[in-house]
Amino acid sequence: MSDIRRISTNRWWHKKNSWIFFGIFLFLVFVRISKGSIYKDFYYFISKPFWPGQFQKEVILNSIEQESLIKVDLLKKDNIRLREILSLQESYNNDNISAAVISRKTGSWWRQIILNKGSRDGVKIGSTVVGPGGLLGRVKNTSLFTSSVRLLTSPESKLGVWVDRIQVNGLLVGSGDDYPNLVIYSKDADIKVGDFVSSSPASTLLPPNIPIGIVKSVEEPLQAKKMAKVVLLAKPHVIDWVQILKVKFNE
């Protein structure tokens, strides 16, 4: 009689295990389909007490000073460019969204930050994100309460940029480290260490004249192009607050 009870108990236990594993499997499938948005929203609530307060003064103030000097120079020169004949983006000045950084992966391959503003706040995929110093990246995806930003250092990041001193467009490509590559498709381009890099006036993805960085080193010309390393002005590993730019198109 005891053997029969033991067999019955074992069968019931195995059946319970099966339901548990089936439930876990359904949960994982749901997370996969939702692209982790439930997890991000959950993280939003549990991390809320630990959100950053004030900027780290020394790094941030230095970045703001550099940003201001570069912006003044770039804006003066951009006034003589005939942007009205191009269908390019311009940023609204009054409707930008302020957001706090609640998670960051600035040292990993993925290189992204997560913000505490999402689709309910009007954040859209592709929006430009800036911090003290200049451009950080663009919004990669959103959940209801959060948004993920692909940083300029990510290997997935590719953006058109402008080297103002030599009046040349280039391509900024993330390399998985702190210094993205600047590619200029002319081996005769007179690029030098110290040149300022900003968002391109010809870009269809970003507003113009956003400071990005300074050329750190220049490599030997390779076939029909030149490559350089860029030090970014905005430091994602210490920035606590950012601005998400709302954009419009010229008609």
Domain map of the chain by residue range?
A: 2-49, 55-251
Is residue 78 pLDDT above 80, yes or no? no
CATH number of 55-251: 2.40.10.340
pLDDT at residue number 237: 85
Q: b or e along 97-135 (b: 16 or more beta carbons within 10 Å of the residue's beta carbon)?
A: bebbbbebbbeeeebbbbbbbbbebebeeebbbbbbbbb
The answer, yes or no, to whether residue 126 has pLDDT greater than 80, is yes
Q: Is the dihedral of CA 206, 208, 214, 215 positive or negative?
A: positive
> CA–CA separation, 191 vs 168, rounded Å?
9
The pLDDT of residue 43 is 73
More confident residue, 128 or 91: 128
Q: What is the mean pLDDT of residues 115-137?
A: 93
pTM of full prediction above 0.85: no
Identify the pLDDT of residue 66: 78
230 versus 35: the higher-pLDDT residue is 230
For 30, the token pair is 């749901």
